[in-house]
């Protein structure tokens, strides 16, 4: 599911953007959920949950907490969120680079549909490529969708696959009864590296590769046997594009 937030202090534009977004995603058969906010203050009341969205549409000229200030708050918790600025003035669009805006749309009730659809088309293409999502029924929490890019590593122990997932700057753990071989096939991502029978590692979260150990971004060290050393190194360099 693609989660979207629309934040604008003009209700007529919130409704217009929401209408266009929902229609486009329905046409594309993309499961989606849209939340509407009528000020930057209302949006940031979500606190760290602002980072749960995949796409955020922000008006740049909101009163009190404007679009740039709201976006700076968003970036504290959502580095990967796709940000689309909606502005009535082209001159303000260039300031979007400060908060890594993905797109901007000129605020014109009649003409903005084409720009919004183009923005969504490009963002969905990037989400499909960089934000592949898998869903599993985990113990205790039930069904949960996880971005493959957020998986740091998966460990198999005691007949359980334990997912170590990056979320808002910390690593959470989720487990289920499933073979690691089956999970590796289902994820089918070239970013995932099998370093031994019990560990499947995301190479994008590897800090460094030692002689017989992989050091992850949080300092976790995973060991692999000597006889796999050359194979692990070769596959790691290939997946990182260094070989």
* Chain segment 151-192, per-residue pLDDT in tens: 999 999 999 999 999 887 789 999 999 999 999 999 988 889
117 DSSP 8-state letter: H
Q: What is the mean pLDDT of the chain?
A: 89
CATH number of 133-239: 2.40.50.1020
Pairing of strands 199-202, 82-87: unpaired
Among residues 105, 76, 79, 81, which one has the least CA distance to residue 93?
Answer: 105
Number of Cβ within a 10 Å radius of residue 91: 7
Beta-strand runs (E) in 148-187: 151-157, 160-167, 170-176
Residue-range domain boundaries for the chain: 2-130, 133-239
| Assessment of whether the complete model's pTM goes beyond 0.85 | no
Q: How far is 134 from 148, CA to CA, in rounded Å?
A: 7
Which CA distances in Å does 69 have to 134, 170, 210? 33, 24, 42
Same fold, 2-130 and 133-239: no
CATH of 2-130, one of 3.40.190.10, 3.40.50.2300, 3.40.50.150, 3.40.50.620: 3.40.50.2300
Q: How far is 151 from 92, CA to CA, in rounded Å?
A: 36
> pLDDT of 71-122, one tens digit each?
999 988 887 789 999 987 665 555 666 677 778 888 888 889 999 999 999 8
């Amino acid at each position: 599911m693609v989660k979207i937030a629309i934040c604008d202090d003009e209700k007529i534009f919130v409704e217009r953007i929401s209408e266009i977004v929902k229609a486009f995603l329905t046409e594309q058969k993309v499961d989606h959920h849209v939340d509407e906010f009528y000020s930057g203050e209302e949006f940031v009341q979500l606190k760290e949950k602002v980072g749960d969205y995949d796409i955020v549409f922000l008006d740049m000229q909101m009163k009190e907490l404007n679009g740039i200030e709201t976006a700076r708050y968003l970036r504290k918790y959502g580095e990967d969120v796709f940000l689309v600025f909606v502005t009535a003035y082209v001159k303000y669009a260039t300031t979007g680079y400060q908060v890594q805006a993905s797109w901007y749309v000129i605020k014109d009730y009649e003409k903005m549909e084409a720009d919004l659809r183009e923005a969504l088309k490009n963002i969905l293409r990037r989400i499909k490529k960089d934000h592949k999502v898998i869903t599993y029924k985990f113990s205790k929490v039930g069904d949960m969708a996880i971005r493959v890019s957020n998986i740091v590593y998966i460990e198999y122990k005691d007949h359980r696959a334990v997912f170590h997932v990056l979320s808002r700057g910390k690593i959470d753990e989720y487990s289920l009864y499933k073979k690691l071989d089956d999970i590796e096939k289902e994820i089918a991502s070239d970013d995932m590296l099998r370093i031994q029978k019990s560990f499947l590692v995301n190479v994008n979260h590897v800090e460094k590769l030692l002689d017989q150990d992989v050091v992850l971004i949080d300092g976790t060290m995973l060991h692999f046997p000597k006889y796999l050393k050359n194979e692990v190194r070769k596959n790691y360099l290939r997946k990182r594009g260094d070989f």
